[in-house]
């Protein structure tokens, strides 16, 4: 099994690699705005960009996500695709999530990233928000699917029932039963319910 890290997969120069907020936004201008206005500006900036998504995370939610993702940095996302479904593996490190197909992960193909999500914390102290920026890296996912994937990731770290599966997957991998997870947690049904 691959034991590398998101940092290896997101090496310098890789799209979706950790960046500074200043690389994609005018931070001094954002600092002058209210948190509500920063959120509006951020979402508007990426609304029409085909290969990018954006979001914001409140301070308290970010602290829970960061602590839980640091403790348990990997998990599965199962989503419907065509007549079947697709399994992605995500890894978290240093404020970034990367998403790979299960097959790429098993081949240890750290360069094959489907989607990267960076959490920018530069406004956490002043505005109590984290700006999230996602980059689609291949044609496997569309913008809508990437947005849902971020929601699934947030739920995995915020919802105690979901986090129980994440914790088992990371800390007691031999006890993680994929079939039980599919039957009891029903990730495909949760995915489909998000579209409603």
Which pLDDT score is estimated for 83? Answer: 86
Q: Which residues have a Cβ under 8 Å from the Cβ of 123 and sit 6 or more positions away?
A: 21, 27, 30, 31, 35, 38, 129, 130, 131
Q: Which helix (H) or strand (E) holds 95?
A: none
Which pLDDT score is estimated for 107? Answer: 86
Q: Which helix (H) or strand (E) holds 154?
A: helix 143-158
Question: What would the pLDDT profile of 17-73 be if each residue is shown by its tens digit?
Answer: 547 899 999 999 999 999 999 999 999 999 999 999 999 999 999 999 999 999 999
Helix 187-194 × helix 143-158 angle, to 10°: 120
Give the separation between CA 50 and CA 185, rounded to whole angstroms: 31
Nearest to 156 by CA among 129, 190, 133, 189: 190
Which pLDDT score is estimated for 99? Answer: 96
Q: How far is CA 45 from CA 18, 113, 122, 133, in A?
A: 19, 24, 17, 11
Give the separation between CA 61 and CA 159, rounded to whole angstroms: 11
Which residues in the chain show pLDDT less than 70?
1-18, 195-196
Q: Is the pTM of this model over 0.85?
A: yes
Cα torsion 182, 151, 72, 127 to 10°: value is -170
Q: Bridge-partner residues for 92, per DSSP?
A: 97
Which pLDDT score is estimated for 112? Answer: 86
């Amino acid at each position: 099994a691959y034991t590398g890290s998101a940092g290896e997969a997101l090496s310098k120069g890789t799209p979706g690699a950790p960046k500074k907020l200043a690389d994609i936004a005018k931070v001094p201008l954002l600092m002058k705005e209210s948190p509500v206005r920063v959120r509006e500006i951020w979402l508007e900036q990426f609304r029409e960009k085909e290969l990018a998504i954006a979001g914001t995370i409140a301070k308290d939610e970010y602290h829970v996500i960061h602590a839980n993702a640091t403790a348990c940095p990997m998990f599965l996302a199962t989503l419907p695709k065509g007549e079947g479904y697709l399994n992605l593996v995500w890894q978290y490190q240093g404020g970034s999530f990367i998403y790979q197909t299960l097959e790429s992960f098993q081949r240890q193909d750290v360069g094959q990233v489907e989607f990267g999500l960076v959490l920018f914390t530069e406004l956490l102290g002043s505005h109590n928000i984290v700006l999230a920026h996602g980059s689609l890296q291949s044609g496997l996912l569309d913008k809508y699917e990437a947005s849902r994937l971020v929601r699934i990731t947030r739920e995995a770290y915020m919802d105690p029932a979901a986090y129980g599966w994440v914790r088992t997957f990371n800390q007691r991998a031999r006890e993680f039963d994929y079939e039980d997870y599919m039957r009891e947690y029903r990730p495909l049904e949760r995915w489909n319910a998000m579209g409603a």
